[in-house]
Amino acid sequence: MRKLTCITCPNGCALMAEQTDGEIRVSGNRCSRGVDFAVSELTHPMRTISGTMRTVFPELPVAPVRVSAEIPKERIFDVMHEISRMEIKTRMRRGDVVIANVLGLGADVIVTGDMMSSKKP
């Protein structure tokens, strides 16, 4: 029996997950996403991660980035290392991919802020 707190949404349901003969039974969840979360947490925990990437633009020294899909929890620092090695040289829009399929994990690193100059359009 493992106590978990679902982090899928702000409700933060207190879950109980029981594993018997390879079958995982979950209680305390208010929606089906709680079951998915508990099963994933007991088998292969996944997380999303955000960070910043350096740019060449003086008024915007770093740009916000995140992974487009969940990555294995134990690879978070590897992905952070990839993000820290790169530098953005062209102005990008939010959603643009800066690292496709990062470390072969099936998720892209995307820019999440519009990197336009600060002047009014």
Partner 1 sequence: MTVYDVLVIGGGPGGLAAAISAKKNGADVLLLEREARLGGILKQCIHDGFGLLRFGEKLSGPEYAGRFEDEFHSRSIAYEVQTFVTAILKKKDGFLVRAVNRQGVQEYRTKTLILATGCRERTAKQVAIHGTRPAGIFTAGCAQHFVNLMGQMPAKRCVILGSGDIGLIMARRLTLEGAKVLGVYEVKPEPSGLTRNLIQCLEDYDIPLYLSRTVTRVFGTERLTGVETMRVDEEMRPIPGTKERISCDTLILSVGLIPENEIAEELGVPLDPKTKGPVCDNRFMTMTEGVFSCGNAMHVNDLVDYVSESGEIAGAAAAAYTRADRRLISLKTDDSMLYLVPQRLDLSGGCGGLTLYFRSRESLTEGTLLISVDGREVFRKNYRNLKPPEMERLTLDTSGFGLTEQSGVRLSIVKGGDRV
Stretch that binds partner 1, among 19-27, 62-70, 98-106 (CB under 8 A): 62-70
Alpha carbons 5 and 38: distance in angstroms, whole number: 9
State the burial class of residue 28 (Cβ atoms within 10 Å of its Cβ: 0-12, 13-18, 19+). middle
Binds partner 1 by CB under 8 A, chosen from 46, 66, 82, 86: 66
* Residues near partner 1 (CB under 8 A), total: 34
The tokens describing 15, both together, are: 């879950």
Nearest residue (CB) to partner 1, 76 versus 105: 76
Measure Cα distances from 50 to 13, 22, 101 in Å.
23, 33, 15
Binds partner 1 by CB under 8 A, chosen from 16, 42, 46, 62: 62
Nearest residue (CB) to partner 1, 23 versus 97: 97
